[in-house]
Chains A and B, each alone.
Chain A
C-alpha cells in the first residue's frame, strides 16, 4: 500500500538547522511531485512549496524562500526538507503530501526553543 513515512520529532535551538525526511513506498516515487505543508500549533495549514521528484526542481512559496531547502534522495524514494537558522516561529508540524494530496505523511513536529 502507498505510504509516506516521515522522520521523528525534533527539538532544536534558535539558529540551528534541521533536516526532515519523507520516505515514499508503494508507488513509483518519480511519478508524483511532493508538497510540503506547515501547521503551527493550533493553527491551519500553510503550503510551503513542492519539489518535482523527476527533475529535482523545487518551487518555494514566498514565505519559504531563503532558509528552506527541498531535496531528494531519489534512489531511496525520499524527499527532504531542511530548515536553516531556525527561529521560534518555525515551531510547527511539517507534512509531506503526494502531488494530488491523496497521501500525506504523519507529520514531523519541530520545536525551536532556547
Chain B
C-alpha cells in the first residue's frame, strides 16, 4: 500500500500567517493516464472531511483561493496564504492513484 507521510503533525499559526504542509508518498502518484491523484482535505472539529484540492493543484469549487497545492511524483505541498480562524482543523493528504486509497496521518492546525 502507498504510505503518505505528512509533516509537521501539528502546526500553530497566527491569523494572517502563511503555512505549508508537506506530504511525501512512498511511490510515485503519477497515473498511467497522466494525472496525479493527490488530494487535500480538511476536517474541522466535529465535522466531516471537506475536499480542498484535487489532482495536486486544482481548487475545489467554493474553497477560498488562499489554499493552493503543488508538487509532483512523490512530494506535495499544501499552502495556506494568510491563515484565517476558520482554517483550524486536521488536514489530510490522500492518494487515489493506487488501490487501496490511502490517507496521510494528518496535520493539526491550531490558531495561536
Expressed in whole angstroms, the Cα–Cα distance for A101 and B41 within the complex equals 9
Partner of A44, one of B51, B99, B105: B105
Partner of A105, one of B48, B54, B101: B48
B102 touches A47 (CB 8 A): yes
The residue of chain A having its C-beta at the shortest distance from the C-beta of B41 within the complex is A101
A106 touches B105 (CB 8 A): no
B-side interface size class: 20 to 34
* In the complex with contacts A45-B92, A62-B100, A100-B48 CB distance below 8 A: no
Q: Give the distance to chain B from A39, nearest Cβ to Cβ, in Å.
A: 8
Interface of B is mostly: strand
Q: Give the distance to chain A from B95, nearest Cβ to Cβ, in Å.
A: 10
A104 touches B103 (CB 8 A): no
Which residues from A are CB-within-8-Å of B99? 59
Q: Give the distance to chain B from A68, nearest Cβ to Cβ, in Å.
A: 13
Count of A-B residue pairs with CB < 8 Å: 48
Which residues from B are CB-within-8-Å of A57? none
The answer to the question of A13 belonging to the interface, with a C-beta cut-off of 8 Å to chain B, is no
* In the complex with contacts A101-B41, A102-B60, A95-B100 CB distance below 8 A: no
Q: Give the distance to chain A from B38, nearest Cβ to Cβ, in Å.
A: 12
Residue-wise, chain B 67-103 has the 8 Å CB interface mask toward A (1 for contact) of 0000000000000000000000010101010011111
Q: Give the distance to chain B from A52, nearest Cβ to Cβ, in Å.
A: 14
B49 touches A106 (CB 8 A): no
A61 touches B49 (CB 8 A): no
Residue-wise, chain B 39-51 has the 8 Å CB interface mask toward A (1 for contact) of 1010100001111
Expressed in whole angstroms, the Cα–Cα distance for A99 and B61 within the complex equals 16
Sort A-B residue pairs by CB-CB distance and give the 6 closest, nearest first: A104-B48, A47-B101, A61-B100, A45-B103, A44-B106, A101-B51
* Chain A contact residues, CB within 8 Å of chain B: 35, 37, 44-47, 49, 59, 61-62, 95, 97, 100-102, 104-107
